[in-house]
Amino acid sequence: MSLDQVQAGLCAPGQPFEIETVEIRGVATRVWKNAPPSLRALADHARSHGDRLMTIYEDERVSYEAWYRAVAKLAAEFQARGIAKGDRVALAMRNLPEWPVAFFAATTIGAICVPLNAWWTGDELEFGLHNSGAKLLVCDAERWERIAQHRAQCPDLDHVIVSRMGTDDLSVDRLEDLIGTPHSWPTLPEATIPDVTLAPDDPATIFYTSGTTGQPKGALGSHRNLTTNILSSAYAAARTALRRGEMPAAGVQKVGMTVIPLFHVTACSASMMGALFAGHTLIFLYRWDTVKAFEIIEREKVNLTGGVPTIAWQMIEHPDREKYDLSSLENIAYGGAPAAPELVRKIYELFGAMPGNGWGMTETMATVTSHTAEDYLNRPDSCGPAVPVSDLKVTDEDGNELPQGAIGELWARGPQIVIGYWNRPEATAETFIDGWVRTGDLGRVDEEGFCYILDRAKDMVIRGGENIYSSEVENVLYDHPAVTDAAIIGLPHKQLGEEPAAVVHLAPGTEASEAELQGWVAARLAKFKVPVRIVFVEETLPRNANGKILKKDLGALF
């Protein structure tokens, strides 16, 4: 079946993927008619999965009912601390069973959840707390150690709740004192989440991204943005079956291993939303370890995993791979970083699993295109077609739409496009135009609607799915007393996609080594942003007539 035939059948009136048109911020927009109207509605639906396991983390196995009871209890605790609709609740922790509890406790009562990058330094976490005006923070002990000394610089932060804290700190609440440990959640009183009136386009989240200025911007997302991904993911699965000549499977519950951080839209929006709706089980890891992952896949019969290409490469190349029974794997999907066509083929050849990919960004709350199974094997350099409720167009520098097949800047439109940037009206006006988001990515769309990303926002390096914005690292290098000129570029890396590298010019008469500058950056930014190599040049860096560094000329230095 062609893509058009699939869409005509699946999206017809009365079908599960029926589409209707509604007005969102003054723009007529196609939406999934049957998507949950809010995260509260999603939570209530997820509760219906009852004793089905929702999360597994080491020896902590939490059912959907136990999770819901913990959400309801914590939501009431938030309200008791004055959290009301529109207040910001920050969330900073590794992937733990508490993460989805805190996320839904905030969003289901109308608060705006602010997932902060758990890899950030104390200064970076302070920025997120201060910029969002977070009134309450839920974090783990590891993050609290970084944040504690910065609390005085966050005047809006009235309450802090810390999980898994080994020592007493009278300045914060212990999460376990409020809702118990994951083992005890089944014994919490049966309760429902407090009632708060929610509309689909009410704000629900702030996920931080960055622009070419390097200053993080908070992408303000709505309930509809997040719940759109539920049906977008399900549609991709149904489309794959029909393209293969099979009938789509319904109501099949899977076991997935979530190996990317929930503070990314890929894991939170593209993965967790659909999993909760379908009743899938999510397995969390303390940190990624390939052998540990093999053991879990074998023991728990994991069906779905992935996240970023790095994970797939490490599984493929590990010498112990054949010692484990990995036959339960059905799908290895990823986003967030470009993948080599070789990887797409190897996933199918070595695991017998179908590869999956997609394209999106923080500003699109993840999924705009999806690419799976045979379609991906046949077009390994594409990120797939847009989901039926979304549109893509390719434009010139002035925003004029280009003919089909032409290369230009990719613009995207649909119900998953965020509201705008938090307290950044000028940046919002520049990026969001009449329902469209300017992505900054160069791409093309073929005659069947398959999208191809040819380049990304020019100053961004993507290391294993983590965005590194050049100017942020460059600004730190410029702060070093010996550095007068600096540029960050991406070096190709087989597993990570790219790694950051720096070209530096030192002031005459000064000295600095590669190790010294790497240490300088590491003391001020998250470790994944530290340049893996630094080349020193005698002259200042090449620039164009406008004074912009010609980064395309710097790769040859490496």
Least confident of 322-326, 465-469, 508-512, 519-523: 465-469
Indicate if 234 and 269 belong to the same structural domain.
Answer: yes
In this structure, what CATH number is given to the domain that contains residue 112?
Answer: 3.40.50.980
Per DSSP bridges, beta strands 408-413 and 391-395 are antiparallel
Question: Strand ranges (DSSP E) for 402-465?
Answer: 408-413, 420-421, 432-433, 436-445, 450-455, 460-463
Q: Is the pLDDT higher at 173 or at 210?
A: 173
Q: How far apart are CA 352 and CA 387, in angstroms?
A: 26
pTM over 0.75: yes
In sequence order, the β-bridge partners of residue 442 are: 409, 455
Average pLDDT, the chain: 93
Indicate if 480 and 418 belong to the same structural domain.
Answer: no
Q: How far apart are CA 289 and CA 314, in angstroms?
A: 9
Q: What pLDDT score does 548 carry?
A: 62
Q: CA geometry: angle at 318 spanning 350 and 265, to 5°? A: 80
Indicate if 70 and 184 belong to the same structural domain.
Answer: yes
In sequence order, the β-bridge partners of residue 222 are: 203
204 within domain boundaries: no
Q: What pLDDT score does 211 carry?
A: 45
At residue 141 the predicted structure's pLDDT band, cuts being 50, 70 and 90, is very high
Segment 244-257 mean pLDDT? 91
Q: What pLDDT score does 531 carry?
A: 97
Per DSSP bridges, beta strands 331-334 and 354-361 are parallel
Indicate if 103 and 160 belong to the same structural domain.
Answer: yes
According to DSSP, residue 401 is labeled B
Indicate if 450 and 483 belong to the same structural domain.
Answer: no
User: Each residue of 473-505: pLDDT tens digit?
Assistant: 888 998 898 988 899 999 999 888 899 999 999
399 within domain boundaries: yes
Last residue of a domain, one of 396, 429, 455: 455
Listed in sequence order, the residues at least 6 apart from 86 whose beta carbon sits closer than 8 Å to its beta carbon are 110, 111, 112, 203
Is residue 545's pLDDT more than 60?
no
Task: Identify the CA nearest to 379 among candidates 307, 304, 447, 308.
Answer: 447
Is residue 259's pLDDT more than 80?
yes
- For residue 21, count other CB atoms closer than 10 A to its CB: 11
209 within domain boundaries: no
320 within domain boundaries: yes
According to DSSP, residue 94 is labeled S
Indicate if 245 and 337 belong to the same structural domain.
Answer: yes
Last residue of a domain, one of 420, 455, 490: 455
Last residue of a domain, one of 455, 473, 500: 455
Helices (H) and strands (E) in the chain, counts: 17, 29
Cβ–Cβ under 8 Å, residues 126 and 134? no
Segment 312-340 mean pLDDT? 86
Residue 93's domain comprises: 42-49+62-198
Indicate if 235 and 351 belong to the same structural domain.
Answer: yes
The tokens describing 219, both together, are 């992408």
Question: Strand ranges (DSSP E) for 300-353?
Answer: 304-307, 331-334
Q: How far apart are CA 268 and CA 260, in angstroms?
A: 9
In this structure, what CATH number is given to the domain that contains residue 271?
Answer: 3.40.50.12780
Segment 192-217 mean pLDDT? 87
In sequence order, the β-bridge partners of residue 455 are: 442
Is residue 337's pLDDT more than 60?
no
Listed in sequence order, the residues at least 6 apart from 120 whose beta carbon sits closer than 8 Å to its beta carbon are 128, 146, 526
Listed in sequence order, the residues at least 6 apart from 11 whose beta carbon sits closer than 8 Å to its beta carbon are 17, 18, 19, 388
Q: What percent of the chain has pLDDT over 90?
A: 79
Indicate if 350 and 314 belong to the same structural domain.
Answer: yes
Indicate if 80 and 137 belong to the same structural domain.
Answer: yes
Q: How far apart are CA 49 and CA 277, in angstroms?
A: 9
Is residue 88's pLDDT more than 90?
yes
**Residue 110 φ/ψ, nearest 5 degrees:** 90, 0
Q: How far apart are CA 146 and CA 142, in angstroms?
A: 7
**Residue 200 φ/ψ, nearest 5 degrees:** -55, -35
Indicate if 292 and 433 belong to the same structural domain.
Answer: yes
Q: Is 423 left (phi over 0), alpha (psi -120 to 50) or beta?
A: left
Q: Kindly provide the b/e burial profile for residues 321-333, where b requires at least 16 CB atoms within 10 angstroms of the residue's own CB.
A: beebebebbebbb
Q: How far apart are CA 341 and CA 343, in angstroms?
A: 5
The tokens describing 81, both together, are 């601390």
Is residue 59's pLDDT more than 70?
yes
- For residue 391, count other CB atoms closer than 10 A to its CB: 16
215 within domain boundaries: no
Is residue 36's pLDDT more than 50?
yes
At residue 342 the predicted structure's pLDDT band, cuts being 50, 70 and 90, is confident
210 within domain boundaries: no
User: Each residue of 293-307: pLDDT tens digit?
Assistant: 999 999 999 999 987
In this structure, what CATH number is given to the domain that contains residue 546?
Answer: 3.30.300.30
Q: What pLDDT score does 43 carry?
A: 98
214 within domain boundaries: no
Segment 256-262 mean pLDDT? 94
Per DSSP bridges, beta strands 159-163 and 173-174 are parallel
Report the half-sphere exposure of 122 (CA within 13 A, side-chain side): 12
Structural domains counted in the chain: 3
**Residue 399 φ/ψ, nearest 5 degrees:** 85, 10
Q: What pLDDT score does 212 carry?
A: 42
Any alpha helices (H) in 379-524, and if so which ranges? 425-431, 470-478, 514-522
54 within domain boundaries: no
Segment 4-32 mean pLDDT? 97
Is residue 400's pLDDT more than 60?
yes
Where do we find the tokens 């020193």? 536
Indicate if 378 and 451 belong to the same structural domain.
Answer: yes
Indicate if 447 and 505 belong to the same structural domain.
Answer: no
